[in-house]
Chain A
Amino acid sequence: MHTKTAKLALAMLGATLLAGTALAQETIKIGVTQPLTGAFAASGNYVAQGARIAEDEINAAGGVLGKKIQLVIEDNKSNPTEAVATVEKLIVRDKVPVIMGAWSSTLTLAVMPKLQEYKVPMVVETSSSGKITTSGNPYVFRISPTSEMEAVAFKPLVAKLGIKKADFLNTNNDFGIGSAAEYSKMLKGQGVAVGVMETMDPKATDFSAQLTRIKASGGDTLFVTTAVEQVTLILKQAKELQLNARIITTGGSNSPDQLIAQAGDAANGSFHTVFFPPWFPEVVTNPEPAKRYMTEWQKRGHEPGGLTEGFRGYDGIFTIAEAIKIAGKAEPAAIKDALWKTKVKGVYGNIEFIKQGPAGNESGQNIPSVYLVKIDGGKVAKSGL
């Protein structure tokens, strides 16, 4: 009797285990590492929310290769050391065949050696430092523009805005330093004088010293590169110090809606490069996915100010899903090869990868659209690009 019960129990256990594996096989895991806490928490959460929208949309349409996709989202705490740990965990423990991440350039650069070590490809959705795609890491595929692309796209506006002398204020990390270097190079090429190049700690809140020096330099335009929290403070403090230079923020993580809400009057007259303009979605290359993304974002009650950031995650997951489809199997090597053939009609524009970096070890780089908008009277207006 006892043996019979035991056998029955064993059989049931076996059945459950089998069912368990069968169920596990029905999903394809995609790793995501984003700063969900720490200095970049706001932006990292927006990207994760955008990624979730893509996950649900893809699964509602039947998934990939007949299986549902499943995002494994890890918090890299805005910290490079933690970012490396999340990538290691995603690859070793969760056995994901592909990753999306890691928001800031510094975080992305920190995790890149791990991709090479484990031979797992990563789609970079936000970072803009040139080094990411030029350092010879063949596992990196970036859908966001580099600072250089942004600067080149900006070139025709130099004359249009009448920029004669420019000053710089950027956050003291790979993103800020890279952007200031590319923009100043481009401006010098256009015959614009470059005044002072000031930096600030990514956590700093008081910029009175830098802004006083910028005011003394007397440029007509100030290029600012950092995340939205510091941009807000800079706009407010520039007004307090009566800095009259035109302020242009670069890098696309500047959320003009949030600036209007938080900097108030001080935001008026400032310019911002963005890579998706939700205020006039009709101008983007592919209005169809842009509308789907925006509708769902609103339906879920996400912060409207996050629209300019969330689409990065949305596009990143669609790019990965398409690559898995082309690869025909969810394995790192196959996905890496497939990414080169991937073409996606995304919010970023028509996503496809060109080769960048040293021959033989090229990284993939997409060429997205860049838009310049102006805040005027508490509203966002088109302004070239």
Chain B
Amino acid sequence: MDQLLQHALNAMILGGTYALLGIGLTLIFGIMRVVNFTHGEVYAFGAYMMYMFVMLIGANFIVSLVLAVVLGVMLGALIEIVLLRRLRGADIDTTMLVMIGAGIAMQNSEQLVWSGVAKSINSPFPSAPLVMGAVSVSWTRLFVFAVAVVLIAATYALIQKTRLGKSMRATFQDREAAALMGVRIDRVHTATFALGSGLAAAAGALLGPVFVVYPTIGDLASLKAFAIVILGGLGSIPGATIGGFILAFMEELGAGYVSSGYRDAMGFLLIIVILLVKPTGLFARKERIG
């Protein structure tokens, strides 16, 4: 029982960060139809910015977090304007190849700038964990979870309540009709990519102090994000949120009670099953094709 409680707690905390990663990608992948291979690298970028501000400059932890996210948003906007804007009419394969190239270039730049040696980021929270009976959790992870929940709620509100969010949803439903109704598609695309990238950078900046930072951390983050988006259904924020938690629980319980060697396989096994039953993912919205 103690073991089950600890597994459940681990999965909740992990799920929060998975959801954050998934939401960022579902916006980009779902709304813009860009198979975004830079997502994991923006995650790594966020973590390295956190390292730079906290460890090299000595800035306040929260201030550093905000700065890392802002820089992530700017990086996302830059990628969209420089690379994607001119590929607007291109087919999905061309865009995908460009994004794969951009991802590789970004990872190697990280290696060049920061070297391959892992960096650790000090967190201002006590290193002794919070103990509740037989289960325990670190304060840093609790903080990460809380911030993730706030960011997820804020993103959801932005999409549902603001004019920008309405434009995004309109563009996702029908690009041409939205353009005809006066939605500035270019601006929506830049904003969407920047927002999605900002969330990836936030996940990286939050998890940097929990884990250690090295140039290839983005690989696994990227893989999980794609899995979550496909699980939840393209473009669905509740889908990505719930997908993130489902993946975390599958991995945690699968590793805890079946076999840790198949920890990462568990999540993908579930995806195969869900896609067999519901090929559009759990929460895919209806969309107009053609």
Contacts and interface: CB of A to CB of B under 8 A. Distances in A.
Contacts of B137: 240
B116 A41 contact: yes
A370 to B, nearest CB: 25
A199 B138 contact: no
B169 interface: no
B120 interface: yes
Interface string B201-233: 000000100011011110110000000000000
B136 A240 contact: yes
Given A240-B129, A240-B137, A37 B255 contact: no
A16 interface: no
Given A199-B261, A209-B251, A242 B136 contact: yes
A45 B256 contact: no
Nearest to B219: A203
Interface stretch (B2-10, B80-88, B183-191, B274-282): B2-10
Contacts, number: 109
Given A241-B129, A265-B127, A212 B256 contact: yes
Contacts of A23: none
B252 A208 contact: yes
Contact of A239 (B10, B127, B252, B264): B127
Contact of B255 (A41, A44, A210, A216): A210
Helix, strand, loop or mixed for chain A's interface?
Answer: helix
A296 interface: no
A359 interface: no
B127 A264 contact: yes
Nearest to A198: B260
Interface string B111-141: 1000111111000000101010000111001
Helix, strand, loop or mixed for chain B's interface?
Answer: helix
A172 B260 CA distance: 10
Given A240-B137, A242-B129, A233 B212 contact: yes
A216 B2 contact: yes
A206 interface: yes
A232 interface: yes
A167 to B, nearest CB: 12
Nearest to A35: B116
B120 A212 contact: no
A204 interface: yes
Contacts of A37: 108, 111, 116, 215
Given A41-B111, A209-B263, A265-B127, A241 B6 contact: yes
Interface in A175-217: 198-201, 203-206, 208-210, 212-213, 215-216
B259 to A, nearest CB: 8
A229 B214 CA distance: 9
B19 interface: no
B14 interface: yes
Nearest to A199: B261
Contacts of A233: 211-212
Contact of A210 (B136, B215, B216, B260): B260
A40 to B, nearest CB: 8
Contacts of A39: 216
Nearest to B223: A203
A201 B131 CA distance: 28
B118 A200 contact: no
Contact of B117 (A42, A198, A265): A42
A288 interface: no
A103 to B, nearest CB: 12
A224 interface: no
A356 to B, nearest CB: 28
A324 interface: no
Interface in A60-100: none
A40 B115 CA distance: 12
A208 B127 contact: no
A350 interface: no
A198 B138 CA distance: 22
A38 B116 CA distance: 8
B255 A213 contact: yes
B261 to A, nearest CB: 4
Given A172-B261, A239-B127, A42 B118 contact: yes
Given A45-B116, A204-B264, A240-B141, A212 B216 contact: no
A228 B217 CA distance: 14
Nearest to B215: A41
Contact of A201 (B115, B215, B253, B263): B263
A205 B115 CA distance: 19
Contact of B7 (A212, A240, A262): A212
B187 to A, nearest CB: 36
Nearest to B7: A212
Nearest to B263: A209
17 contacts: A41-B111, A42-B214, A198-B255, A204-B264, A205-B220, A206-B211, A208-B252, A212-B3, A215-B6, A216-B2, A216-B3, A240-B129, A241-B6, A241-B136, A242-B129, A258-B117, A303-B117
4 A-B pairs with the lowest CB-CB distances in the bound complex, closest first: A41-B116, A209-B255, A208-B10, A262-B120
Given A229-B118, A242-B131, 12 more contacts: A42-B115, A42-B117, A45-B115, A172-B261, A204-B264, A205-B207, A208-B13, A209-B251, A212-B3, A242-B129, A264-B127, A305-B117
